[in-house]
Each structure stands twice: as C-alpha cells, then as structure tokens.
Structure 1
Amino acid sequence: MTGADLSDLISDNITSLPLSAPRTPEPVNGERRSFRTIWISDVHLGTKGCNAEMLIDFLDNTDSEVMYLVGDIIDGWRLKKKFYWPAAHNDIVWRILKRAKRDTRIIYIPGNHDEMFRQFTGLNFGGIEIRRAAFHDTADGRRLMVLHGDEFDA
C-alpha cells in the first residue's frame, strides 16, 4: 500500500436483509454489561469453525454505544467453496441488525474474507455503516484508526 493509497483510504467517507426471528431467543432477565465501544472481528460466519454460540452469548449479555465489525465477519471465501449457514449464524446477523435499530452505532469494515462488501463502502444498510476505515476517539482522548489488517498485505 502506497502513501497515496492510504491517504485515499483515510479520506473515504467516514461519516434490508430479510431475516426471520432468531432460533436462539434473547434472554429476558439478567444484567447486561454496558460498554462505550465493542470491537468484533474474524467471526467467519459461514464456517464450521465459527463459535456462533459464544458470540450469541456475548451479544445477549452486552450493550454498547458503538460496535465496530472489523473484517472477516462473514467468510465469503469458504461460502464460495461450500455453502454452510446454520441457524445460529442467522441469529448473529439478526442480533446485530436489532442493535442497529436500538441506536447502537454499528460500523462494518470488511476484511479480505468478506471483501464482497467493500463495493458498498459509504453506504448504510439497516443502520450498519459500511466503511473502508474509521477513526475512533477513546474516552481518554486518543484517536485510533480502525481498519482491517489485509490493507497492508503485499
């Protein structure tokens, strides 16, 4: 990646999927931990190695103002070879879309395994902002650049 490419990446605009209700219902009782920001990456939905139940448990027990989905959320490479999409993977997508409706700001930065979504950079689907990169300001005033690591692959 050249400096000009990185500059173009940084200057990108940093500003509905029909799904049935989830198979695994969200819990009704219990305390949810609240965070300012949550980062999730490398989930690889569409693979048998995806630990969907653990992510469902995490999503059911946390809330945040902002959620970054930082690449390889869906494994398009694997899905092209062999389609695998159990109900639990649908449940994860449903939960993320529901968060977007409840005012969680969700920023999706596709990686190399879900690069098919990069063509939608700058658009908003179901409350999910699709970006090539983003900047995040921490509570203590630091500014972080959020992007997927494959941007630096040779």
Structure 2
Amino acid sequence: MQGTTQHYRAIWLSDIHLGYRDCKAEFLLDFLAKTTCDNLFLVGDVVDLWAMKRQLFWPSSHQQVLDALLEKSRQGCNVIYVPGNHDESMRSYHGSVFQGVECHREYTYESLAYGKLLMLHGDEFDGAVKCGRLHHWVGDKGYDLLLFINRWVNRGRAWFGFSYWSAAAYLKKKVKKAEAAIKRFEDAAIREAKRRGVDGVVCGHIHSANMRYEDGTLYLNDGDWVESCTAAVEHVSGEIELLHWSNTQKQIDQLRPELTVVTGRAA
C-alpha cells in the first residue's frame, strides 16, 4: 500500500490514548495518511485525560494525530466521536458538533452487509468481567508492567532492525484469566446488541481486536493504538476487516491472514 491511498466506506478507531506515552502515534499517522473513508468512527479514549492528569505529555506527533482527524472532517468525511471512560468528560457534550465532528454518547450505523451496528466504547460491559477494586488495582499495575515490557522489547527489536511486535498482546493471550475475562466481555456485548434489537455492536475499551458473528449478531472490537495498532474497516463492497498497522507493509500482509474476516451476513 506504500505510495497509494485506500478508500473505505467506514473506518473504526478507538483507544488511541493521545497524551499517554505508550500511544503509537507515528503508526496511526501513517494509517491516516494512507486511507480515506466516507465515515470515520472514533469509539472512545481518543485523548487519555486520566494519564494527562497524572503527567502532562503531549508531543508533536500527538497533536499531528488530532489535526489529521480534524482534517478528515474538513475534507468531507462524516466523523462521529463516541467518548470512552478515559475521555468521559466529553460525554456531557452529547449531540454537540466540534469543528465538524459530531459527539454522541452512542451511535447506530447502518452497515452495508450487516445492518444496524450499535457503537459504544465498551466500559458499559465492565460489570460482566466481575472484578472488585483490588482486582482492578492489580490489573492496572499488571497492565502498566505489560506496557513497560512491550516498550523495552520493541526498543530492543528496533535496535536490531526488527519491526514492531506487540509483546503485550502476546502475553495477554497466554494468561487464561485474561482470555476468560475478554470472552465474558464479548458475550455481554453480544447480549446487549440482541437486547437492543440491533444487528451488531462495535466497541473498543479492552485493547483486544476481534470479530465474532454469532447467531446473526456481529461483535466487532477495533482494538487499540497502544499495544496492537489495529483498526476496523468496511470496504465499499460491505466486507468488514480488521487491519494491523505498524512500521512495515510486509508485517501487515503477514498478519492479515491471521485476522478474522467476515464477508457477509448469514442467510
């Protein structure tokens, strides 16, 4: 894709965490420069206000990401922003428009092949994971450790000329309790879609990109730009796909076959 621009009917991004030192802003800038779309959905945690309260961190690359997102709107793209828990103060601006970007507490999108998709950040399903305060605290500390490991592993890989690899995502998959919690989260999201009478749900929050099509209901988690650098896209044909985007096109091509691709609704 180097040197070309790919157009999509829709792009979903979430958990960018601008203002947080582990945000992979450079990879996202490359993605935004090489893609266009009719609809851009920002599904929460775009700016990490929690992290910025602890320590102000705003490098030029983070401002460039924000500028690039606003530029999409100026170019005529329909940009919808659904705030998450790390930027939850923006939820009070439901129904407002900022520089062409619409802010909604949640949003329903009519996809080409899957019908109505409910978009919300996903912290609404935290209760399904059933973690007490102690477990949340341990989880936060453990996650910080994962990102610390991820940071230093990739510094080492860069030193030896290797491309980016998400050590954090790999280690999470090896922890059975983490896998079980993610499964409970996904099940809760699917139940909510069925309860609302929509055809699917799109969310982020748990930093675990995945697609499931279960009993006529689509679950789509577009992942994050802290660990895995993933986005969900809807092609003009209606096909929905998860893309991994890091520092080499070769790696993207290698990873694509490993990601779930759903090409049409079940009859």
Residue 57 of structure 1 pairs with residue 30 of structure 2: yes
Give the number of the structure with larger relative contact order, counting CA–CA contacts within 8 Å between residues 6 or more apart: 1
- Give the Cα separation in 1 of the matches to 2:110 and 2:80: 14
Q: Specify the alignment match of 1:86 in structure 2.
A: 59
Q: Give secondary structure in 2 for the equivalent of 1:65.
A: strand
Residue 124 of structure 1 pairs with residue 97 of structure 2: yes
For 1:1-154, what aligned pairs fall within 5 Å after superposition? 30-154=3-127
- Give the Cα separation in 2 of the matches to 1:35 and 1:97: 18
Q: Which one-letter code corresponds to 1:131 in the other structure?
A: H
Give per-residue Cα distances to partners, 1:86-108, cap 9 Å, x unaligned: 00000001011111011100000
Q: Specify the alignment match of 2:210 in structure 1.
A: none
Matched length: 126
Note the residue ranges of structure 2 that are not aligned, 5 or more in a row.
128-267
Alpha-carbon shift at residue 30 of structure 1 (Å): 3.1
Q: Which one-letter code corresponds to 2:103 in the other structure?
A: I
Q: Which one-letter code corresponds to 1:152 in the other structure?
A: F
Q: Which one-letter code corresponds to 1:127 in the other structure?
A: G
- Give the Cα separation in 2 of the matches to 1:98 and 1:30: 20
Q: Which has the larger radius of gyration?
A: 2
Q: Which one-letter code corresponds to 1:86 in the other structure?
A: P
TM-score of the two chains, using structure 1 as the length reference? 0.79
Q: Which one-letter code corresponds to 1:147 in the other structure?
A: L
Q: Give secondary structure in 2 for the equivalent of 1:107.
A: strand
Q: Which one-letter code corresponds to 1:84 in the other structure?
A: F
Give per-residue Cα distances to partners, 1:35-78, cap 9 Å, x unaligned: 00000001110011000000000000000000000011110100
Alpha-carbon shift at residue 141 of structure 1 (Å): 4.8
- Give the Cα separation in 2 of the matches to 1:147 and 1:141: 17
Q: Give secondary structure in 1 for the equivalent of 2:79.
A: strand
Note the residue ranges of structure 1 that are not aligned, 5 or more in a row.
1-28
- Give the Cα separation in 1 of the matches to 2:86 and 2:113: 33
- Give the Cα separation in 2 of the matches to 1:141 and 1:44: 29
